[in-house]
Structure 1
Amino acid sequence: LTIAAIGAATQFAPLYLGLTLLVIAVAVGAVSGAHINPAVTFGLWTMRKLKTALVPFYWIAQLLGGALAVVVLNGLSGSAFKLSFEHFTTFSWAVFGVELVGAAVLMFGIAAAVSRVAELKQTGQAVGIGLSLAVAAIVAGGLLTQVQASVDTSSVQDIKHLPHELRAKSATLNPAVAIAATEAPDSSFTGAQASRGETGYS
């Protein structure tokens, strides 16, 4: 899912992400419950669908999976990008709000799908989960666009100090994916062509 999220930076990204999650849910849902999102794992725990003792293990596996995706992508691209965690601790309430609303939409859809075990087979649940991610990504993407449009940059003197809201390429709706997802690089604001090895901030 992380690789799909990073690679699908187009207007069809929500559809691609939804289809990817659908396939993952069908493929491994019966084995692990297809818990690939720490926020969803927390939501399922609050629904008492997951034992408390398992939650930390799921979170560790999910975050390691996101980090591994970065290593794999960098290896396959011949070290085309240099990842920096310099902005990792930067916090934005606006971006947090977008992610929270998107995750809530996703969780409502997942809760509806998994609570109807008697009515829906595994494939039906997977379709519901995949469509939930697609809808959540569309909602969060629309909100992020509005947030970015309202950012005041009149006082910004250096491109390196642009507000975090402008650097966000999209809403991730998944803390594990957020580790691997990079912000828009400096070149995307100057009109220059992205150079090989340009620093991408996680």
Structure 2
Amino acid sequence: MSPTAQEIEEIEPISEVKKYAAEAVGTFLLVFCAVGTAVFAGAKVGNLGVALAFGLTLLFLVYSIGPISGCHVNPAVTLGQFGLGRISIVTAAGYWVAQIVGGLVAGLTIFAVANSLPAYDRSVDGLGANGWGEHSPSAVVGPAGGVLENGYGIGAAMVVEVILTAVLVFVVLASTDRISNIPQAGLAIGFTLAVLHLVAIPIDNTSVNPARSIAVAFYQDGALAQLWLFIVFPLLGGIIGAFAYRAIFGRTDRLLS
């Protein structure tokens, strides 16, 4: 497993427990701050504001917990690292558990806050979950609340999740490669996530991160039945992005985090 930035600077390596804790806290913050923006302020800030919330949250996480755990905060990124042989299956499994737990706690926290608003109706307002068809953000809803016309279909959701997650994982690996400008990695990664959200929010509310999707699927009608897509296809995209990185950069041992 490649050492993190802090391990390079310190003689004593960082324990696996600290890395798992960083991943749990980081995923909690990503989901709470970014999905929370969509739930609490989406009507005010619009898609651009929500996209920036995701990008800027990931940006500050890269600089804050990146030296500890590498700031994966996303099972697809962890799978990409594992696919390149940078982390062991034990470490990858620990990261996945930490990310999912952190996301679930964030989802519960968002729901608790939203539910304290008298006007909030879980069955109507949901909790920023991902979906296609009648659950796509582009679905046309009638005045009585029923869906008059479905939004983007399952094929569109599959395509964007694979492509955009591959892009995200590729940028994470490429921008943290030792031949890149490492101090700017956080900017590159954060703004990439923001752009990806601008592309996909109207299609399926943008996952590119299974932990983010799992975190809130329990609080939105119909979301659990569609959750499988937002686990399988981002993970597939993560593998594609990792191997695209290896094909272009040609090595697997130059990552700092």
Q: Look up the match of 1:38.
A: 75
1:16, 1:46 → 2: CA distance?
Answer: 29
Q: Look up the match of 1:98.
A: 160
Aligned-residue CA RMSD in angstroms?
3.2
2:216, 2:158 → 1: CA distance?
Answer: 15
1:182, 1:5 → 2: CA distance?
Answer: 15
Report sequence identity in percent.
30
Amino acid corresponding to residue 73 of structure 1 in structure 2: I
Structure 2 gap segments, 5+ residues each: 1-29, 134-153, 225-257
Say whether residues 1:69 and 2:106 are aligned partners: yes
Structure 1 residue 183 displacement after superposition = 9.9
Structure 1 residue 107 displacement after superposition = 1.3
Q: Look up the match of 1:127.
A: 187
Structure 1 residue 118 displacement after superposition = 5.0
Q: Look up the match of 2:94.
A: 57
Cα displacement string for residues 149-182 of structure 1 (whole angstroms, at most 9, x for unaligned residues): xxxxxxxxxxxxxxxxxxx4x1121101001345
2:179, 2:184 → 1: CA distance?
Answer: 11
Q: Look up the match of 2:200.
A: 140
Tell me which of the two structures has the higher relative contact order, counting C-alpha pairs closer than 8 angstroms and 6 or more residues apart: 1
Amino acid corresponding to residue 11 of structure 1 in structure 2: N
Q: Is the 8 A contact 2:100 2:214 kept in 1?
A: yes
Q: Which moved more, 1:31-40 or 1:130-139?
A: 130-139
TM-score, normalised relative to structure 1: 0.66
Say whether residues 1:11 and 2:47 are aligned partners: yes
Q: SS at 1:36's partner residue?
A: coil
Q: Look up the match of 2:206.
A: 171
Say whether residues 1:26 and 2:63 are aligned partners: yes
Amino acid corresponding to residue 4 of structure 1 in structure 2: C
Change (3 A) 1:108 1:135: farther
Greater helix percent: which structure? 2
2:92, 2:114 → 1: CA distance?
Answer: 33
Q: SS at 2:47's partner residue?
A: coil
Say whether residues 1:113 and 2:150 are aligned partners: no
Structure 1 residue 19 displacement after superposition = 0.8
Q: SS at 1:21's partner residue?
A: helix
Aligned length: 159
Structure 1 residue 108 displacement after superposition = 1.7
Structure 1 residue 81 displacement after superposition = 5.4
1:81, 1:201 → 2: CA distance?
Answer: 16
Q: Is the 8 A contact 1:110 1:132 kept in 2?
A: no
1:51, 1:114 → 2: CA distance?
Answer: 19
Amino acid corresponding to residue 68 of structure 1 in structure 2: V
2:89, 2:219 → 1: CA distance?
Answer: 37
Say whether residues 1:48 and 2:68 are aligned partners: no
Cα displacement string for residues 105-164 of structure 1 (whole angstroms, at most 9, x for unaligned residues): 11121121122x25433x42211211221222233346x2xxxxxxxxxxxxxxxxxxxx
